[in-house]
Amino acid sequence: MARLLMIRSRNVLYALLAYFILSLICTQIPLLNYLGYEFSSLLALVSSLISGFLSFSIVRQYRADASDKRRGFQQALMANLAILVVPLVVMLTNTLFVKNCSVMNGVVFFLLLPLVSAWFSTCLAFFCTMQFRHPRVIFVGLFCATVAYAAAIGYYTPAIYSYNFFYGYFPGLTYDEVLELSWTLVLFRVLTFFLGLGILWLGLLIAEHTSLNDSTIAKGVALVRLFVDPRKGGVALLVAAAVFFLYVFRGELGFESSAQFIRDELGERFESEHFAIFYSKSSFSSEEIRWVAAEHEFRLAQINNIFHLRFHERIQSYIYPSAETKRRYLGTRTTSIAKPWSGQIHLSVENLQSVLKHELVHVLAAPFGVPVIRTSLHPGLTEGLAMAIEWSWGNRTLHEYAAIMKRSGIEPDMEQIMGSTGFLAQSSSVSYVLAGSFCRFLIDSYGIRSMTKVYRSGDYQGTFGRSLSDLIADWRAELDTIHVGANAQDIVDVFFRRLPIFHKVCARVVAQLNAEAGAHFAKKDYSAAAGLFHLAYSEGKGNEALGGYFSSELRLGHTSSLTAALDTIILRHEAPGRFLSLFLPIGDAFWKEGDIEKARDLYKRVVFADIADAYSEAAAVRLLAIGDSTARDELLNYFLSDEVDSIRLRLLDSVLVRLPGNPVALYLKGKLLSRLGKHQDAVRILLPLDLKGGHLDATRLKTIGKALFKLKRFQEARSFFWQSLNAVSTRATIDEVNEWVDRCEWSERNSMP
């Protein structure tokens, strides 16, 4: 007996030591170094195996009778739950050194994930010990089977998330930072607990009515006979019915999302030559979905021309009405997904135009990928190829952005980015832009066929006859020939100093606070939104939180919060350019307070930085409006209005009744009418305007071109797109205009939509 106790104690000590070492290692790894989802999820996976094998070593020592076996289970369960205190204490202690913004959330994740996993594995190990001659083999087999099932869900269904009895929940590999405690997870873990209870019951029945020396078949027969007994058969039937019900309605419960389930939920289907588009009736009218299908076909033709493919398959395009709907069915709010092996792309209505081409590249590049997953094994090549062919990111070319990073000295090790793991270690803006620029260089220098070969093999030397380091050196030399402009530092500060999630403070908590604040803002509950955004900023110091706080305060009329922040937060920061996107609301606050010159200076700063077309246009139109003393106050009310477009239109009409030729009001009205789909009226208003060239005039001409395109006046549309280059002509605007001209010609040639 003493020897058995020694063996048992030694195994417990080994398990305890394993937890301690794992916890210490995690304290040195970002995102795993505090008590949160990531740590608890990893621990759940590990504790499933440790709890199972520790249970085998303990339960096998109790063989005398049924009560002795029951006592063995109790001992195993107490040991498995007790030693989980070690990683909990280590992580709680680490909060003295690493900031944890929500210890309570972390504790709940710990209870739901590793604690329930330890319970489930202990119950399963007890059952396997009672039922099978080789319980460890069966246990490991079941563990691997559930993981394989989760992998199959990710492969064969659109969903990228999975729920599992052992590790609990996996959200998928996305750039989403929001990961809240959901009722779906709580429900699944409650069901996991009861499933463990049912498995324990079966083990106890076997322990009471059979001997450990009986064969597996004999035990199975004895169990079946017990179920014939009405007293036990009724319970077994009830459990079986519950399991069947949960499996059949797993989609409705949120545990899985099959393709057919998502199609049924979206409700609508539209087919074109190469696409089956699944969407919600609330997203598009019958006319609008034809334009959407036409855009799909145009993008397909563009990519085919580059790849020199003859594409005869049908791609499935799922367009979700909102980011939240996409999260519910797919598992991600902000990340668009392509599954090349199944010919699927998954997008949201709000980002359809900006990501469609990129995601289609992933699908059309499938023939060049490795078997089974039909993509490259190197994320830098996978995303770099898509970026290189998409060739649209902001209002500069990828080469220009890459040159800016190189000149600023923040370019990371490109060999790591183009390798197997370094791509994900950087912020997405850095990795995507640099990989896209490098891949475009390879395509332009060596041709698309060579690019598709290295896409599959990852062998640069064998494909190009040059090592990766030599190719990077050639690419960097070409970047040296690119002019970057005086505002390069602003571009770096705004786009390329963002931290990856691994290095952000309380990334999950801050993201959740921002999401909750955004929901309040959308409901016009600005007071609650301001409070949550302020809390998020105090925890993580992120731009999104600060911008949300400023917008909320401005809606509440609290302009002093914004004007004071210019000196206390922004200008004192080591990289004030990082906050350029916030200069617009701060400028509006100064305008509202009557400090016209301060507002004007901030708007000019945004125009000079030219960080993005939307910001440059917003700043330029404000500069024009603030200089118009006859309508200055009314136009400010328009900029600050949170009303729907139809009411905002009335605000502009009230200005135009008093000042019929006011250029700012006419420009804003034309843009608004175009957004509302009133293209003929938009053209009528915008056409005679004279904005003296520059960014606003270029935008006016392109807006006319887009309106004429929607009116199917393709030749006229081309003319206005070309004219826009007389106002602003950069490499990026030339590429944009050429693409619109190609779209017009393709649509006219193919009678689309």
Question: What number of residues does the chain have?
Answer: 753
The two tokens of residue 350 are 């709000």
**DSSP code for 257:** -
What pLDDT shows up at residue 425?
77
CA angle 652, 655, 660 (to 5 degrees): 110
Buried b or exposed e, range 467-498, using 16+ CB within 10 angstroms: ebeebbeebbeebeebebeebbebbbbbbbeb
CA 507 – CA 492 distance, rounded (Å): 22
Amino acid letter, residue 241: A
What pLDDT shows up at residue 374?
93
| Beta bridge partner(s), residue 271 | 276
CA 417 – CA 420 distance, rounded (Å): 8
**DSSP code for 484:** -
Which CATH class, in words, describes the domain spanning 258-364?
alpha beta
The two tokens of residue 260 are 């057919």
What pLDDT shows up at residue 20?
94
Element (H, E) at 269: strand 267-271
What pLDDT shows up at residue 233?
64
CA 302 – CA 383 distance, rounded (Å): 18
Tokens 């992120």 sit on residue: 542
Edge-to-edge order in the sheet of strand 344-348:
267-271, 275-280, 315-320, 344-348, 337-339
* Full-model pTM: 0.91
* CA-only gyration radius of the chain, Å: 30
**CATH T-level fold of 690-753:** 1.25.40
CA 160 – CA 176 distance, rounded (Å): 12
Asked whether the beta carbons of 732 and 395 are under 8 A apart, the reply is yes
Distances in Å between the Cα of 68 and the Cα atoms of 10, 59, 335, 600 are 21, 9, 53, 83
- Mode of pairing for the β-strands spanning 162-164 and 168-170: antiparallel
Q: Where are the domains of the chain?
A: 2-253, 258-364, 690-753
What pLDDT shows up at residue 567?
83
Element (H, E) at 145: helix 135-156
Sign of the dihedral through C-alpha 289, 358, 369, 147: negative
CA 23 – CA 39 distance, rounded (Å): 9
- Give the contacts of 257 (CB within 8 A, at least 6 positions apart): 157, 158, 159, 251, 329, 330, 331
What pLDDT shows up at residue 361?
96
| Beta bridge partner(s), residue 278 | 269, 318
| Regions of the chain where pLDDT drops below 50 | 1-7
CA 123 – CA 125 distance, rounded (Å): 6
CA 677 – CA 644 distance, rounded (Å): 15
Asked whether the beta carbons of 154 and 485 are under 8 A apart, the reply is no
* Count of C-beta atoms within a 10 Å radius of residue 729: 12
